[in-house]
Amino acid sequence: MKTRPDLKQAESPAMQALRKQRIENRVKEIPKKYRKLYKKAMETNNEEAAIEALCLECICWQKKEVVNCSYLTCPLFGVRPYTRN
Ligand code: SF4
């Protein structure tokens, strides 16, 4: 899995605190089974986790709908999760 360098160095302490609070609030709105994935995406800057979480969020956390996504011009279409054997 690809992991980006720690971006926290580029954020001010105030921005870090705001981001942390918003992530905590957002986690509460996400189906429990996907909270760990979301936190991984947000806290580790892992690109695969970020793509998976974004696609799931885009399609209301319905894994099957990510596979069936028909938005052919989305920049993530070719790398969306659950489509490779
Ligand atoms: S590929 Fe489909 S599911 Fe993923 S972000 Fe784009 S439109 Fe949403």
Task: Give nearest CA residue, ligand 1 atom 4.
Answer: 55
Tokens of residue 70, six digits: 């028909």
Side chain identity, residue 23: I
Any bridge partners for residue 3, and if so which?
Answer: 46
pLDDT at 84: 82
- Domain limits of the chain? 7-79
Q: Evaluate whether 39 touches 23 at the Cβ level (below 8 Å).
A: yes
How many degrees, rounded to 5, is the angle at CA 75 between CA 71 and CA 81?
75
Rounded to two decimals, the pTM is 0.86
Top-confidence residue, 1 or 49: 49
How do residues 19-48 score in pLDDT, each as one tens digit? 999 999 999 999 999 999 999 999 998 999
Q: Which of 52, 66, 83 to mutate to test the pocket of ligand 1 (most atoms within 8 A of CB)?
A: 66
Q: Which of 34, 54, 58, 62 to mutate to test the pocket of ligand 1 (most atoms within 8 A of CB)?
A: 58
- Give the Cα separation of 49 and 64 in Å (integer): 17
pLDDT at 35: 98
